[in-house]
């Protein structure tokens, strides 16, 4: 139970909650109670985009080195975080109670963890019914998106992140993409091994997808990668490049929660039915 400083905060009044993870912050925003602070506020546009971050959310600085002075001065009631920051947990506990919610990097598919985290956040915000509704709506949106995803229904696709000139991160089992694709009934063309985070770092020449597939790459793309690939015969002759099935996927937080999942599904459905985003 959370301690209530005597008289300071009346019961029922909105809690001051900080989220140290973008994904958990997404869920809080979706439930209508955005966090008072998150790390790296300016990067939200680069990595998350949707849902938009409300104005006035304080910046806690680096993702890995939360600015403790700022955190202290904000006097939060609760700090939400993931096991990613386990090494700094003892610091956060000196400011406010800490709730650790594992979502990604568990070595298992993130979906059940996302649902559990959503319900837990619902409880913490005293918005249990909203959380259940968010889950039900998200699941429905994804299934419906699957139904209207047009040509993608018969076309496997895969997601990559250009890492540098020679390497990509390709997403598979244990990633949010895989879970969304499964629920939409679309096949992931990448069936290779992945790490606990759900991606595999491989050389571009190993992007050997047997048969037809659609490749989606997302931001950020290192500046000279596309130009250099354009010159490479090896790249030009990859089946998905030869058939022109390479598309730039709009920004989605790959380590996100339900808002990311529905966004991926909706974008895929739009792409499959309109042949573009």
Partner 1 sequence: MASDRSVKGAALVSLSMFLPALLGMLLLILWQVPAERLYAALFAPDIAMVGELRVHYSLMPRLAVCLASGTALGLSGAVLQQVLQNPLASPSTLGISAGAQLALSIAILFFPGLIGWSRDAVALSGGMIAVFLVFAFSWRQQFAPFTVILSGLIIGLLFAAVSAALVLHNERYLAGLFLWGSGVLKQYDWEAARALLPRLAVLTLLVVLMMRPLILLGLEDGASALGVNVLVVRIAGLTLAAALAGVVTAQVGVIGFIGLAGPALARSLGADHFKRQLFWSPVLGAALLLITDVAVQLLDAVTNISLPTGAVTALLGAPVLLWLLPRLRMINKPALSSPTAGHHRVRHPALLLTLLFALALAALWLSLSFGRAPDGSWQFVRGDMFEALLPWRLPRSAAAFAAGTMLAISGTILQRFTGNAMASPEILGVSAGAGLGIVAALFLLSAPSYLALTGAAALGSLFVLILLLGIILSGRTSLNQILLAGVALSALLSSVFAILMATGDPRMMQLFTWMTGSTHGITPAPAISAGICAVIVLLLAPLFSRWLDILPLGRDTAQELGIGLKLSTLTLLGFTAFATAAATLVTGPLTFVGLMAPHLARQCGFARALPQMVGAALLGGTMMLFADWLGRVVDFPWQVPSGLVATLITSPLLLWLLSRR
**Backbone dihedral angles phi then psi of residue 19, each to the nearest 5 degrees:** -115, 125
Structure tokens at 226: 């596309």
Least distance in Å: CB of 110 to partner 1? 14
Least distance in Å: CB of 237 to partner 1? 5
Least distance in Å: CB of 39 to partner 1? 9
**Closer of 67 and 266 to partner 1 (Cβ):** 67
Residues that bind partner 1 in the complex, under the rule CB under 8 A: 40, 43, 46-47, 58-65, 67-70, 72-74, 83-84, 86-91, 94, 105, 162-167, 169, 193, 195, 197, 201-205, 208, 220, 222-224, 227-229, 231-235, 237-238
Alpha-carbon distances, residue 244 vs 122, 161, 165, 212, 230 (angstroms): 44, 18, 20, 11, 12
Least distance in Å: CB of 126 to partner 1? 26
Are 145 and 182 contacting, i.e. CB atoms less than 8 angstroms apart?
no
For residue 115, which of 98, 136, 87, 93 has the smallest C-alpha distance?
136
């Amino acid at each position: 139970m959370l301690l209530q400083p005597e008289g300071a905060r009346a019961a029922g009044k909105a809690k001051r909650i900080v989220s140290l993870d973008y994904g958990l912050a997404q869920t809080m925003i979706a439930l209508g109670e955005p966090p008072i602070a998150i790390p790296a506020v300016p990067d939200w546009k680069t990595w998350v985009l949707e849902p938009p971050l409300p104005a006035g959310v304080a910046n806690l600085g680096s993702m890995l080195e939360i600015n403790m002075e700022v955190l202290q001065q904000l006097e939060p009631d609760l700090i939400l975080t993931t096991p990613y920051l386990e090494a700094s947990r003892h610091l956060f506990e000196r400011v406010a109670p800490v709730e650790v919610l594992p979502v990604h990097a568990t070595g298992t598919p993130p979906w059940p963890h996302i649902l559990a985290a959503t319900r837990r956040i619902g409880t913490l915000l005293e918005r249990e019914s909203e959380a259940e509704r968010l889950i039900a709506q998200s699941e429905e949106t994804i299934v419906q998106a699957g139904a209207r995803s047009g040509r993608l229904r018969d076309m496997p696709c895969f997601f990559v992140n250009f890492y540098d000139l020679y390497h990509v991160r390709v997403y598979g089992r244990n990633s949010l993409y895989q879970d969304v694709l499964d629920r939409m009934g679309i096949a992931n063309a990448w069936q290779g091994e992945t790490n606990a985070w759900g991606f595999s770092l491989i050389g571009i020449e190993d992007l050997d997808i047997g048969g037809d597939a659609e490749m989606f790459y997302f931001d950020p793309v290192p500046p000279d990668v596309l130009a250099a690939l354009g010159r490479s015969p090896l790249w030009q002759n990859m089946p998905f490049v030869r058939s022109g099935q390479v598309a730039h996927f709009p920004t989605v937080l790959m380590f996100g929660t339900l808002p990311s999942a529905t966004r991926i599904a909706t974008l895929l459905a739009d792409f499959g039915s309109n042949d573009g985003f």
